[in-house]
Structure 1
Amino acid sequence: MPNALAQETSPYLRQHADNPVDWLPWGEAAIERARREDKPLLVSIGYAACHWCHVMERESFNDPQIAALMNENFVCVKVDREERPDVDAFCMEACQAMTGHGGWPLNVFMTPELVPFFAGTYFPPQPRDGMPSWRQVLEAVAATWRERRQEIRSAQSRIAEQLAGAARLAAAPELPPATLLDEAIERLRVRFDRRHGGFGGAPKFPPSCVLAFLLARGERVMSELTLERMALGGLYDQVGGGFHRYAVDAQWAVPHFEKMLYDNALLARVYLRAWQTLREPLFREVACETLDWALREMRGPEGGFYSSLDADSEGEEGRFYTWTLAEFEAALGDHAAEAARWFGVTSQGNFEGGRNVLSAATRERPPAFGEWRARLRAVRERRPRPATDDKRICSWNALMVSALAESGAVLERDDYLEAARAAVQFLLGPMRPQGRLKRTWKDGDARIDAFLPDYAHLLEALLALYEATFEPRWYRAAHQLADELARRFHDPQRGGFFETAVDTPSELPVRRKEIEDHPLPSGNAAAATALLRLHALSGEDRWRELADSTLRLLGPLAGRHPEAFGQLLLALDFRHGRVREVALVADDGTLARVVRARYRPHVVLAGGDPDDVPLLAGREAREGRPTAYVCEGFICREPTTDPEALASTLDA
């Protein structure tokens, strides 16, 4: 008989509905039961595309004897980390503090008062490689609770205070200096892998936020090599487009195969900006292929985007994406020998079972590349597909809107702009029932009050869509959302923003602030970025003051740990940069094309009806021709109708 998870909308939770474990969803009912029975909570956290989450379910959660042990001694709670980033972050910090590492599946044992006292990640069904079995862990924790529960409870207040994390930090009196930005780049240079790109060794995750910061600062060596090697390696899906979540090696050759919406939104935007900066054709192709993949495989009928594709199919990791030499030759026929050399396909393979993860030999694609890819894709589409987590997440959709809007404007792709509009209308409509933004949506059901990243990324998306289309409705929506963000999340005492809204009830014992990119831009950094851009468009100092409180709070940390604070460094670079506010009047697209021809990280762009956006107020066309006003701090130069003069002014 299914457990309580059968009533949930999360595909990850539903995957566990038939386990013999008496799972409950996170919430007051589970907590009340733990208090009533004086049992610890066993909080198990994962997500639908997580390979090792599936493994632990098959090995342990489906075992009737292990399930009986769990049910007897604990109140068992399943959490989708994508639905509840607050619970996940709280538990992950506890796990890292206790063990020195983290990951998913994440298993945390809490007192009924919600204070963690033991944590770990994956445990095997039998002891191996120095790891205890899951049964041994359960028995040891149950015995500890029976024999030492008062001792555990006596430490609760101290542990809860430690888990408040960044909420205990206080903002510095002054903004971090601009010199911090160069110091951060030097620290990144020390960690940079000069052979393969990226930072550090295996495993390697795409450093999207750091790359965006480096491009904004004009750094080319680290950013170009990293972008090239990721695009040529197995991290990138050479057949279907889009990126896998991370590489298990230092060479970007073999990925962990799940595909996440947020990775692809962030990377598409970075590759677009790299193309604007470097004019490398491969980078434009990768940006477009990534967005085309998202429109083809990740878009729901209402305009929102699904969350992820699983790593596994047919019971094997990577089965959908990899090839034996025989499969490859059957698909390509006479082209197989040449294509195998270029894609690196061999009889031995570079993955499990003699299978091959495809990579690319060079930046320049062969003339027959399009035909090769079409044939391979046609064969691949007949394979059983990886499972799709089709819940829509507000912040991840907002990241995709930003990528589509910016790319649509720069590349003049109306299909991208239309997709961005449709997704925003979905976020501001079905995902905002009764006027309150929600975190997730599935099958017509919007659930869970939105968190800081949902508001912050949506605010940035609305501004990106306004700057791409000059439709004032998006600017007005951004202004309204910024008011909500400030009212619900800002910390006026210590600066920055809390993860949860002040008017959203929370079961957790502390109200926390998430500050690092992991790998999504942190909500605090995204809020600072968007608010600074809103200030530049509106001239309202309150938005810059709110952003400054975050920069003063987190700037020193960002300088010391740049790999974890790329988005905040990007915001600080904008704050210290020479920001140009460009107002276009009566433009037919000619002047906007000049502004977008290069990546200009310190430019905000306004156009359309002068009555709607403050930056446009009082601006008139000269002699009835498209006219550009280039301003700094709302003080404008003499307007120009000459595209070359506009480009020269922006480049000065």
Structure 2
Amino acid sequence: MANNTLHSFSNRLINESSPYLLQHAHNPVDWYAWGEEALQRAKVENKVILISIGYSACHWCHVMEKESFENEDVAALMNKNFVNIKIDREERPDLDHIYMDAVQAISGSGGWPLNVFLTPDAKPFYGGTYYPPVKAFNRSSWTEILLAIAQSWKEKRNEIESQAENLMDHLSQSANFTQPVSGSVIKEAENLFSMDDCHNIFNNIIKAADKVYGGFGQAPKFPQTFTIQYLLQYQHFTKNDEALQQALLSLDKMLQGGIYDQIGGGMARYSTDNEWLAPHFEKMLYDNALLIDVLCDAWLITKNEKYREAILKTTGFIREELTQQQGGFYAALDADSEGVEGKYYVWQKQEVDDILEENFELFCAFFDITEKGNWEETNILRILQPFAEFIVTKNLDENKFRDLIITCLLKLSAVRAKRIKPALDDKIILGWNALALKAIAKAAIVLEDEALKIVAVNNFNFIETNFKKNVNSSEMMHTCKNGIAKYPAFLDDYAYLIAACIELYELTFDNNYFTKAKQYAQYVTENFSDNESLYFFFTHKDQTDIIIRKKEMYDGAVPSGNSIMAGNLLKLSTIFNIPEWQTRATKMLIMNSGATIRYPASLGIWASLLLQSVVGLNELAIVGNDSYDLAHEISQNYMPYKIMMVSTFEKNEFSLLKGKPVASESLIYLCNNNMCFKPFNKISDLKLQVNKSIK
């Protein structure tokens, strides 16, 4: 009979820094971290490798640990038959991508925890996600799976090895999805895309749109901020009201829902229902970075105060909950506290009544707090009726009610702070920091917020200090904790960092950020390029501990490194006059355009790049004594697809600024699609030109 009492076990994970691996350091399972020691042991002992992949904020990872990995009898079975390896997917996304693809090929679906069985040479042959301790939910139990695999390896090894080889062939083919583009095709690139393609992208997006609750598709519902961003950009150039309405409806419903923390700010990973009520409560740095980015666009377009407040509240969450002393951003907050998902965030009505006293009735009505509860007999704060409608319905004074809400939220926040908080994943991941850096820099620009500017600059300095492998090199590491950086950086890390540097220039007008962006882009092209196609590999050319080099194309929870790099190369090619980078980025887009038009929900950044290729990239050079003031004013306007450079002197190394004379009256030079316009001295005239509608 299983013994689930706590024991003083410890395994090799006790020496790791990942919070997720450390969570398993006292399991009776003889876990290894991924590395040569475990891989070599599997070969020597001719044992199947079991890899279990998850992350610290993953609820079902915790469930499977409690049910199976903490069970001594189950652990004994695992230790006897397998070499067991625990992997933090956030530390090793390269391994996660490979073995997730394998499981999706085997079962048609994937997720975390991800449990995969490999031959001793690390080739996958079987796997799945969560397995219960006893047979349930039409799933075999974890023990049944372990026994079946162990027996099959003894009796049918040749069949397993053959299956692994077939799966490897499939993975190799799927990793090389691209076809070369001929020279004649690239010459016609500017005619390959039309506004009709962008209309088709819009139509394919809107087919999946939820016109009642916002968002796209059915539960579980993810924010899909890339799709929202495309709709905002598309509406800007087409004046299509349906696009704007669906984009803002999606943002509004999320901000009113339980997926958004009404008390402390910050958005959870996804909603388990169509109404955005019940989230999967984990709060990831990257989700909140992407939310801030699109909220900045909504603010510039509408100047509606609710979007400004949401930007400040979400950046506030990152600053207060996810920022370490030197300026780095932590990875995530767990979904669970005290072993219960969401316990930190939910409320009983009586509890709220006692805290708020005479103000509880209005507050509870506004945030849908009832005696019965709106989720599992508890209450998740959400807004059913928007603020403006609620005060009319209740005949309330706007300012007094707003003050009441703020006061009540502060009281609940003070009480909540005394609860046991969800665990903090204190890894600092380069790519996620760069996403947050770009978003916070953008927020600092559009809100003209000096405090956010300081946060952004401090984070960049933290990255430069802590993630560089060598002081004078562009080679970076992927994670950092307690001053120790680990694992070579991946394509995403560099791509997001380059994009952040480009955003930092517009925040600071410091040319060094463009120079940094160029250096990192050169490093990527030298070390991540595929000689047979134009896409970039996810891993560095010198990395040796993976069975295959993949090229990631899809914009999922985070943008693909390839889509971001394509956008980076288009901008940097203009800034530094590097035509081959523009050619490469255009070819990347051409090769992917068919899929982008058909499946824009999975290729949102690519969709935006395709729209950019049609409407053109606005190249702005602002020169003159008050050019910086003009540039700041331009930044207060929604102007997608632009590069802006500023100078108060004539001699300049950047091609955008060359030949632009400085006069007492500052001028704005605009070029677009290889055509330049007569200089403007008024921003209103510039806006008339760049905001022309395209049918």
TM-score bucket of the superposed structures, by smaller chain? over 0.9
In the alignment, residue 632 of structure 2 is paired with which amino acid?
A: R
Q: Which residue among 556, 563, 577 is the counterpart of 1:518?
A: 556
Larger mean CA deviation between 552-561 and 324-333 belongs to: 552-561
SS state at 2:358 partner: helix
- CA deviations 1:182-202 (Å, max 9, x no partner) are 212111111111111111111
Mapped partners of 1:414, 1:541: distance in 2: 36
Q: CA deviation at 1:327?
A: 1.5
Mapped partners of 1:140, 1:128: distance in 2: 17
Residue 420 in structure 1 maps to residue 456 in structure 2 = yes
Larger mean CA deviation between 476-485 and 147-156 belongs to: 147-156
Aligned residues with identical type, % of pairs: 38
Q: Which residue among 410, 415, 419 is the counterpart of 1:374?
A: 410
SS state at 1:287 partner: helix
Q: CA deviation at 1:571?
A: 1.8
CA contact (8 A) 2:262 2:381 kept: no
In the alignment, residue 200 of structure 1 is paired with which amino acid?
A: G
Q: Which residue of 2 aligns with 1:169?
A: 178
In the alignment, residue 496 of structure 2 is paired with which amino acid?
A: H
Q: 1:536 to 1:329 in 2, by over 3 A?
A: farther
Q: Which residue among 262, 273, 277 is the counterpart of 2:297?
A: 273
Q: Which residue of 2 aligns with 1:617?
A: 658
In the alignment, residue 650 of structure 1 is paired with which amino acid?
A: V
Mapped partners of 1:451, 1:553: distance in 2: 23
Q: Which residue among 618, 636, 642 is the counterpart of 1:603?
A: 642
Residue 563 in structure 1 maps to residue 601 in structure 2 = yes
Q: CA deviation at 1:53?
A: 0.4
Q: CA deviation at 1:120?
A: 0.8
Q: Which residue of 2 aligns with 1:209?
A: 226
Q: Which residue of 2 aligns with 1:185?
A: 202
Q: 1:612 to 1:11 in 2, by over 3 A?
A: farther
TM-score by length of 1: 0.96
Q: 1:503 to 1:587 in 2, by over 3 A?
A: farther
SS state at 1:220 partner: helix
Q: Which residue of 1 aligns with 2:162?
A: 154
Q: CA deviation at 1:222?
A: 1.9
Q: Which residue of 2 aligns with 1:62?
A: 70
Mapped partners of 1:230, 1:647: distance in 2: 31
Q: Which residue of 2 aligns with 1:100?
A: 108
Alignment of 1:55-454 (within 5 A): 55-164=63-172, 165-173=174-182, 174=185, 175=189, 177-178=193-194, 179-218=196-235, 219-359=243-383, 361-364=385-388, 366-367=401-402, 368-434=404-470, 435=473, 436-454=475-493
Q: 1:286 to 1:68 in 2, by over 3 A?
A: same
Residue 480 in structure 1 maps to residue 489 in structure 2 = no
Mapped partners of 2:12, 2:110: distance in 1: 27
Q: CA deviation at 1:211?
A: 1.3
Alignment of 1:609-648 (within 5 A): 611-623=652-664, 625-632=665-672, 636-648=676-688
Mapped partners of 1:589, 1:413: distance in 2: 16
- CA deviations 1:41-89 (Å, max 9, x no partner) are 1010000000110111111101111001001111100000011111111
In the alignment, residue 234 of structure 1 is paired with which amino acid?
A: G
SS state at 1:41 partner: strand
Q: Which residue among 505, 514, 538 is the counterpart of 2:576?
A: 538
SS state at 1:42 partner: strand
Q: CA deviation at 1:588?
A: 5.5
CA contact (8 A) 1:171 1:550 kept: no
Q: Which residue among 582, 605, 612 is the counterpart of 1:574?
A: 612
Q: CA deviation at 1:34?
A: 0.9
CA contact (8 A) 1:236 1:242 kept: yes
Q: CA RMSD in A?
A: 1.7
CA contact (8 A) 1:167 1:511 kept: no
- CA deviations 1:437-473 (Å, max 9, x no partner) are 0110001110000111001111100001112211111
Q: CA deviation at 1:362?
A: 0.4
Q: 1:643 to 1:190 in 2, by over 3 A?
A: closer
In the alignment, residue 177 of structure 1 is paired with which amino acid?
A: F
CA contact (8 A) 2:60 2:113 kept: yes
In the alignment, residue 166 of structure 1 is paired with which amino acid?
A: A
Q: CA deviation at 1:619?
A: 2.2
Q: CA deviation at 1:547?
A: 1.3
Mapped partners of 2:543, 2:462: distance in 1: 22
SS state at 1:294 partner: helix
In the alignment, residue 217 of structure 1 is paired with which amino acid?
A: Y
Larger mean CA deviation between 178-187 and 266-275 belongs to: 178-187
Q: CA deviation at 1:589?
A: 4.1
SS state at 1:72 partner: helix
SS state at 1:400 partner: helix
CA contact (8 A) 1:261 1:307 kept: yes
In the alignment, residue 479 of structure 1 is paired with which amino acid?
A: K
CA contact (8 A) 2:634 2:683 kept: no
Larger mean CA deviation between 95-104 and 303-312 belongs to: 95-104
Q: Which residue of 2 aligns with 1:463?
A: 502
Residue 497 in structure 1 maps to residue 514 in structure 2 = no
TM-score by length of 2: 0.91
Q: 1:59 to 1:155 in 2, by over 3 A?
A: closer
Mapped partners of 1:425, 1:504: distance in 2: 27
- CA deviations 1:292-340 (Å, max 9, x no partner) are 1111111111111000000111221111111110111122111100000
List alignment gaps of at least 5 residues for structure 2.
1-8, 236-242, 389-397
Q: 1:145 to 1:180 in 2, by over 3 A?
A: farther
In the alignment, residue 330 of structure 2 is paired with which amino acid?
A: Y
Mapped partners of 2:140, 2:94: distance in 1: 29
SS state at 1:614 partner: coil
In the alignment, residue 463 of structure 1 is paired with which amino acid?
A: I
Mapped partners of 1:291, 1:417: distance in 2: 12
Mapped partners of 1:128, 1:640: distance in 2: 69
Q: 1:228 to 1:595 in 2, by over 3 A?
A: same
CA contact (8 A) 2:259 2:268 kept: yes
CA contact (8 A) 1:581 1:633 kept: no
Q: CA deviation at 1:480?
A: 0.4
Q: Which residue of 2 aligns with 1:34?
A: 42
Mapped partners of 1:622, 1:541: distance in 2: 30
Larger mean CA deviation between 452-461 and 494-503 belongs to: 494-503
Larger mean CA deviation between 281-290 and 590-599 belongs to: 590-599
Residue 649 in structure 1 maps to residue 689 in structure 2 = yes
Q: CA deviation at 1:562?
A: 1.1
CA contact (8 A) 2:627 2:646 kept: no
Q: Which residue of 2 aligns with 1:548?
A: 586
Residue 593 in structure 1 maps to residue 632 in structure 2 = yes
List alignment gaps of at least 5 residues for structure 1.
none
CA contact (8 A) 1:539 1:634 kept: no
CA contact (8 A) 1:53 1:104 kept: yes
Mapped partners of 1:86, 1:378: distance in 2: 41
- CA deviations 1:528-564 (Å, max 9, x no partner) are 1222122232232122122123212322222221111
